[in-house]
A and B are shown apart, each in its own frame.
Chain A
Amino acid sequence: MQPTLSFEQAPPISVPYRFFLTAPLFGIAAGLLLSWLGPAALASRWSPGAAALTHLIAAGLMLQTMCGALLQFVAVAAGANIWRPRLIAAVVHPLIMIGASLLALAFALGDPFLFRPAVLLLAVPMGLFIGVLALALLKTPARGMTLHTLRLAVFALLVTLTLGVTLAGTLGWQGNWPLPFLTLVDVHVAWGLGGWALLLVIGVSYLVVPMFQLTPAYPVWLARLLPAGLFLSLLAWSLQLGREMPPPWLAGVALFGMALAGIYAATTLRLQSQRRRRVSDVTLLFWRGAMVLLLALAFSWLLFQMLPRLGDQARAPLWLGVLALPGVFVSVINGMLYKIVPFLNWLHLQRQGDPRKPPPNMKQMISERAMSGQMLLHFTAVALLLAALLWPLLARPAGLAFAASSLWLEWNLVGAVRQYRRFLERALRDRIDAAGSGRES
């Protein structure tokens, strides 16, 4: 018998899985879009193609997996499920999927009318999601730096969303609002990537980096400094919305934020090299790859500041964007999915079946070879995307490689779900057989 679960172990498996299974589709779409548009999409950050690609990855792939994973993760970090997880997932998931698709389409086609439904379909469900998540994170009696960092991340998501809605609203309703559009974009990007996404990765890594490989914990002073420092630098960066700030001051703020990101990446790499567990796996390699790319991002930014001839190139911001989105964040997400999905499969299955017939273990859910093959393809795609900024002819092959890697990820996840179903059906059949033979005897 299962006990009454007042200290829930997990929400129903369909809650996170629906997000995980649709997220890679946005990666496939992004790759195909790039291969279709070709070099023009990578001409500058202001090209319609670049904006569409960015939002397919950020508001599509990343947002979906992060929402799905948080619905799961909050149960562990805060010791409490969010309010009505099934209902929240049923409302939020389809709406943000359509919203993100429309947003990307609006950018790609430059169609102002498409921005209007896109704004609504993202703002309403994300507002709801942020609300219930904030409630769960604020109400919990649990404590710890992860929880604190997650709270800041959710606040950053709210700011990102608000700024994004304002920007897309401006494009959609074409009003002559007296808004500093380009400044708004810079602040929106900073809160989205340096706030929401990076804070989430940092908060989660405080738990999972020591947990997966039994590394030492992050030093306490650093664990406190990183979220507080990043948050302060984001607030300082936002001052430019109110009045014009001197460029050296803005550069100083950005330098501070980038330095924190670099220190975080270097520390994570050092902790992983001190791990007590000697066996390695795909998730660890994805994390390490992501941290190397985060270091590369911080160094590239510094280089662009020191060599304005390089930094003023139209493709320089795209270089940073490729390092951040497919490089850092998609790699972490990809690696985490390969740990979360096999574990959730096992966790839910072992409650269903006969205790004498245990479910397959985690390593039997997705084959190691399929995961490492997909990882190689993913990092090849990232390398090709970076190379395409130097040699634009590579844009189409890079897009195809990224689409193929996302497709392979999807295939591996679907395989895990089929494995789950197979075991569940067998357990059900056994139970029916047992009931049948019980009646006969």
Chain B
Amino acid sequence: MSAPTKILPDHHKHCDDLFVAAEDAAARADWAAATAAFDRFRAQMDAHFEAEETVLFPGFEAATGMSDGPTQMMRFEHEQMRTLLAQLAQTCAARDRDGYAGVAETLLMLLQQHNMKEENILYPMCDQALGPNAEQIGAEMSALLGRVDG
């Protein structure tokens, strides 16, 4: 049986690719392409947050009884990233190249260190804790991440 969190690191990479496409287009000031690429990026990010917040984290919290531990911190960082995604949308709409570059840089740093903590610490903890529910949780997350076309 494969680990329930196995799909998540791959999805992080997928989001990275979409981030690059949007950043690249914005740096070239190709705003039509940047807007389209950014929308795809944001949709995938939202789907990822949703899969974790509605399926994985509750499963982990139920299994361990840790509801104000690592998952709470991860939720907090998701909120920080949602704020930055909203700012990116604004700079994209305003065709503000420097603004986009600065917010994108900030988001990437936050996103990467967040992913690192999840991949090195939280996901292994989840795989260990979930036990018999693992398969169902994996399937539910796959469904949520597959729903958005990206």
Contacts and interface: CB of A to CB of B under 8 A. Distances in A.
Contacts of A8: 73
A358 B103 CA distance: 11
A10 to B, nearest CB: 10
B39 to A, nearest CB: 19
A3 B68 contact: yes
B131 interface: no
A358 B117 contact: no
A207 B115 CA distance: 11
A144 interface: yes
B102 A362 contact: yes
A361 B105 contact: yes
Interface string A206-241: 010001101000000000000000000000000000
Contacts of A364: 102
A76 B109 contact: no
Given A76-B116, A278-B24, A350-B80, A6 B73 contact: yes
A410 to B, nearest CB: 23
Contacts of B19: 214
B73 A5 contact: yes
B58 interface: no
Contact of B73 (A9, A350, A363): A9
A106 to B, nearest CB: 40
A360 B87 CA distance: 11
B117 A76 contact: yes
A76 B116 CA distance: 8
A42 B120 CA distance: 46
Given A3-B68, A6-B69, A361-B99, A277 B20 contact: yes
Interface of A: 2-9, 76-77, 79, 140-144, 147, 207, 211-212, 214, 276-279, 281, 339, 343, 346-347, 350, 355, 358, 360-364
Given A212-B109, A278-B24, 16 more contacts: A3-B75, A7-B72, A8-B73, A77-B120, A140-B121, A144-B120, A212-B108, A214-B19, A276-B20, A278-B23, A279-B27, A339-B109, A346-B106, A361-B99, A361-B103, A364-B102
The 10 A-B residue pairs whose C-beta atoms are closest, nearest first, are A361-B102, A363-B102, A7-B73, A7-B70, A211-B112, A3-B72, A79-B121, A362-B106, A142-B121, A4-B68
